[in-house]
């Protein structure tokens, strides 16, 4: 059933968040991260399906040097494979050989559910899409200076 739980975090003087749990947290292993969803669902909106596909390709570990549009185009070319994996993951097993297999499986299932809903933009989703924040110091400075062009 859908039960909500919370993961406590500590915040250091630089504003970095660290989970207090040693096992169950967002920085855990692939299999645990694949299970995490937000407690509240919201509609995917106009660009949500794009970001689900982008996330899927990122978790596959391919096309790392390509932009987001190329990654989503790749996801579109393998859509038949995504459907097969979502329906029969232990028969169609290519997902087991990617960089983050369990997160890829979860993304395949979520993408197919969104498309299968008939209206992906209205699909109620709680699936987290990862964004790289490892090199965003300049974005923080841009935000402080309220510079929209430099922060994106």
Neighbour tally for 133: CB within 10 Å: 7
Q: What is the pTM of this model?
A: 0.84
φ/ψ of 137, rounded to 5, equals -60, -40
Q: DSSP of 80-108, one letter per residue?
A: HHHHHHHH-TTTS-GGGGSSSHHHHHHHH
Q: Provide the pLDDT for residue 133.
A: 65
pLDDT tens readout for residues 59-117: 999 999 999 899 999 999 999 999 999 999 999 999 999 999 999 999 999 999 999 99
- The pLDDT-based confidence of 152 (bands split at 50, 70, 90) is low
Rounded CA separation 81/46 (Å): 24
The CA radius of gyration of the chain, in Å to the nearest whole number, is 17
DSSP one-letter code for 24: S
Instruction: Report which listed range, 24-28, 34-38, 77-81, 134-138, is most confident.
Output: 77-81
Mean pLDDT of the chain: 91
Q: Provide the pLDDT for residue 134.
A: 62
Q: Delineate the domains of the chain, giving CATH numbers in brackets.
A: 1-36 (no CATH), 40-145 (1.10.287.280)
Rounded CA separation 51/99 (Å): 18
């Amino acid at each position: 059933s859908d039960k909500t739980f919370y993961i406590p975090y500590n915040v250091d003087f630089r504003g970095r968040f660290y989970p207090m749990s040693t096992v169950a947290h967002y920085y855990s292993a692939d299999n645990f991260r694949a299970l995490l969803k937000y407690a509240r669902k919201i509609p995917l909106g106009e660009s949500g399906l794009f970001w689900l596909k982008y996330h899927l390709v990122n978790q596959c570990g391919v096309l790392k040097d390509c932009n987001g549009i190329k990654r989503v185009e790749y996801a579109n070319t393998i859509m038949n494979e995504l459907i097969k994996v979502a329906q029969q993951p232990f028969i169609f097993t290519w997902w087991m050989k990617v960089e983050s297999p369990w997160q890829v499986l979860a993304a395949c299932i979520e993408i197919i559910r969104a498309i299968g809903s008939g209206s992906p933009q209205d699909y109620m989703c709680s699936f987290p899409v990862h964004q790289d924040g490892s090199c965003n110091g300049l974005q923080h400075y841009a935000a402080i200076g309220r510079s929209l062009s430099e922060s994106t």
